[in-house]
């Protein structure tokens, strides 16, 4: 059993396999400008992490907006929170 600790929403999600947990993370997104800006201001207000992640994923500046940056950062945080349940 694997858990994903979604600190942004305050939820703990449980999955049978690591692959299911990762898939959940990759399907999670942050939509709407106001939510994206709120998320970024709380979690990456300088945008350094989000921009580095976007660069690592091959995004160019003209393809980025607040929703994309917030989603990239959020998904990375979710993936990094995956733990095997005891």
Return averaged pLDDT per consecutive 10 residues of the chain, 86 residues in all: 93 95 96 96 95 95 94 97 90
pLDDT of residue 86: 74
pLDDT at 85: 85
Q: What was the pLDDT predicted at 19? A: 96
The closest alpha carbon to 49, from 27, 80, 20, belongs to: 80
pLDDT at 16: 95
For residue 51, give every residue at least 6 positions away whose Cβ sits within 8 Å of its Cβ, in sequence order, or none. Answer: 64, 69
DSSP letter string, 19-80 = HHHHHHHHH----SHHHHHHHHHHH-TT-HHHHHHHHHTT--GGG--HHHHHHHHHHHHHHH
């Amino acid at each position: 059993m694997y858990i994903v600790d979604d600190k942004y929403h305050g939820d703990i999600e449980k999955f049978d396999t690591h692959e299911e947990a990762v898939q959940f993370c990759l399907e999670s997104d942050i939509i709407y400008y106001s939510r994206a800006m709120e998320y970024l201001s709380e979690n990456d207000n300088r945008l350094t992490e989000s921009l580095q992640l976007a660069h690592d994923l091959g995004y160019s500046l003209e393809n980025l907006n607040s929703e994309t940056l917030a989603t990239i950062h959020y998904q990375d945080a979710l993936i990094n929170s995956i733990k095997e349940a005891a």
